Structure 1
Amino acid sequence: MLTVNHLTKSYDGEKMSLTDVSFSVRPGEVTVIIGPSGAGKTTILRSINQLIRDDDGEILFDDTDMRQLNRRQLRQARCRIGMIFQNYNLIEPLTAIENVLHGCLGTKSNLAGIFSMYRNREKEEALQLLQKVGLGEFAYQQCRNLSGGQKQRVGIARALMQRPKIILCDEPIASLDPKSTVTVMDILRDLAVNDGISVLINLHQVDIARKYADHVIGINNGQVVFDNRAKLLSDVAIANIYQKNVNTEGSLVHEF
């Protein structure tokens, strides 16, 4: 599905953001990347779909190196890679269903996109996806009137409109309350388990990673320091990822 090999990224040719990062994401699994702020988690996600350009390495998606694609090929590849953002990236004055329909813009001509020329089946699919994330009754409400958790679910529906093989989630619950956090994470987990979509998530919440992840990647200072099944994410491993001391009482989860 997705394999990253020896990925390296620097800024201004000096400061290293990523150093020799390698990992794989399996089909139908939730993989969570954890690590301190500034460790390089967002840089990894944005490198995968080439929103930013890295310096060296391989990013193999369906056995194709994303780094070697031309503009047309990259657009086609991105159609199969959903993206969910911390700040939702919705057009607030538009309705929920209009935002979801934007998920199919990558397959439409520029003219069709500019004039919102959607087929009836696309509109029906967008409504079904909103129902799938529990927002069918909010389909025609402006997104500016939705809560943060509802906005993030619109973002998930928009990503699903692409019919993706993988969804990249950049801090999707950072701005959400506990109830909305559970709702969003339950949906993402369900997409992996029941729909076979690979889900790669950046998180700060270690307890959430332990609960929902199949696999965890720990990043510190742009390097992979943990790459294993979630059940093996011990307090000692967490301490190594975050460069913290293990206390005598055990759990470090609350510190992060």
Structure 2
Amino acid sequence: MIEFSDVSVTYPNGVKGLDGVDLTIPDGQFVVVVGLSGAGKSTLVRSINGLVPVTGGDLTVDGESVKGAGRRKLRALRSDIGMIFQSFNLVRRTSVMNNVLMGRLHSTGTLRSSLALYSKADKELAFTALERVGIVEKAWVRASQLSGGQQQRVAIARALAQDPKIMLADEPVASLDPPTANQVMKDLERINRELGITTVVNLHFLDLARRYGQRIIGMRSGKIVFDGTGEEADDEVFERIYGRSLTADDVIAKEPGAIA
């Protein structure tokens, strides 16, 4: 379980990223966080694994406080949390398999991983992760040869190879075309459903949020202004979250055959 108790984040320049956030995310839930740029959604997601330090209140993950955690505690925490970024963060000059195996660094160690001395079990986990995102046939292809959507699916496989309890995704489809964005979201949804991994995803596109969010958290100026289901999140709700009328840029084109 992830629990925010009156959590605030103030950056060194004085900007407040989170302002008195109270939020509980139970095990296994699929949560989508929406809001304008600067609303605090990336700060919320990145505070869960300590990438952004909490400056007020308390944030606990699986009963352990993240606030003020030292290097060793943060390393242990992050070993249980997979992270997916908008920019993929792959090593493009090496193979897909090597990129996915980097998800085993927390258990393999720097020396063994630098010499590619991964165990048979690690390699099996990596293959299984690639199978889950439907890209196992690309295992020995260099990451630089993949499309953006394929690279993001490799990034998901890398996070899966950690054998995580929690999956965080910070704008994972922002740079993808509509069909590919839907495929990536379907992968995340299926992984959550089949493996029970708690999943927290930041999205800008409101139709994707409605389609895939089991629960939607709306943020504005560092505060939670909506917490409900996708069915409850109609256009009026999103206008309240965004503080303005909706535009064409707030939705992604629907995949072929999709139902509105």
* TM-score using structure 2 length: 0.92
Report what 2:258 is aligned to.
Answer: none
Report what 2:101 is aligned to.
Answer: 101
In 2, the alpha carbon distance for the partners of 1:58 and 1:117 equals 39
Check whether the contact 2:55–2:67 (CA below 8 A) recurs between aligned residues. Answer: no
Please provide the CA RMSD for this pair. Answer: 1.4
1:167-206 alignment, distance < 5 Å? 167-206=167-206
Shift of 1:117: 1.7
Check whether the contact 1:33–1:218 (CA below 8 A) recurs between aligned residues. Answer: yes
Shifted more, 49-58 versus 202-211: the winner is 49-58
Gaps of 5+ in 2: 251-260
Report what 1:136 is aligned to.
Answer: 136
**Deviating 4+ runs (over 3 angstroms):** 252-255
Report what 1:24 is aligned to.
Answer: 24
In 2, the alpha carbon distance for the partners of 1:253 and 1:64 equals 41
Check whether the contact 1:171–1:202 (CA below 8 A) recurs between aligned residues. Answer: yes
Q: Deviations over 1:151-189 (max 9, x none)?
A: 000000000011111100000000111111111111100
Q: SS state of the match for residue 67, structure 1?
A: coil
Gaps of 5+ in 1: 246-251
Q: SS state of the match for residue 32, structure 2?
A: strand
Check whether the contact 1:207–1:253 (CA below 8 A) recurs between aligned residues. Answer: no
Shift of 1:121: 2.0
Cα–Cα, structure 1 residues 129 and 177, in superposed 2: closer, same or farther, change >3 Å? Answer: same
Cα–Cα, structure 1 residues 253 and 134, in superposed 2: closer, same or farther, change >3 Å? Answer: farther
Q: Deviations over 1:11-32 (max 9, x none)?
A: 2363222111121222222101
In 2, the alpha carbon distance for the partners of 1:136 and 1:109 equals 25
Q: Count matched residues.
A: 250
In 2, the alpha carbon distance for the partners of 1:60 and 1:181 equals 31
Report what 1:161 is aligned to.
Answer: 161
In 2, the alpha carbon distance for the partners of 1:138 and 1:71 equals 35
Report what 1:225 is aligned to.
Answer: 225
* TM-score using structure 1 length: 0.93
Q: SS state of the match for residue 231, structure 1?
A: coil
Shift of 1:200: 0.2
In 1, the alpha carbon distance for the partners of 2:11 and 2:75 equals 25
In 1, the alpha carbon distance for the partners of 2:121 and 2:217 equals 39
In 1, the alpha carbon distance for the partners of 2:120 and 2:154 equals 19
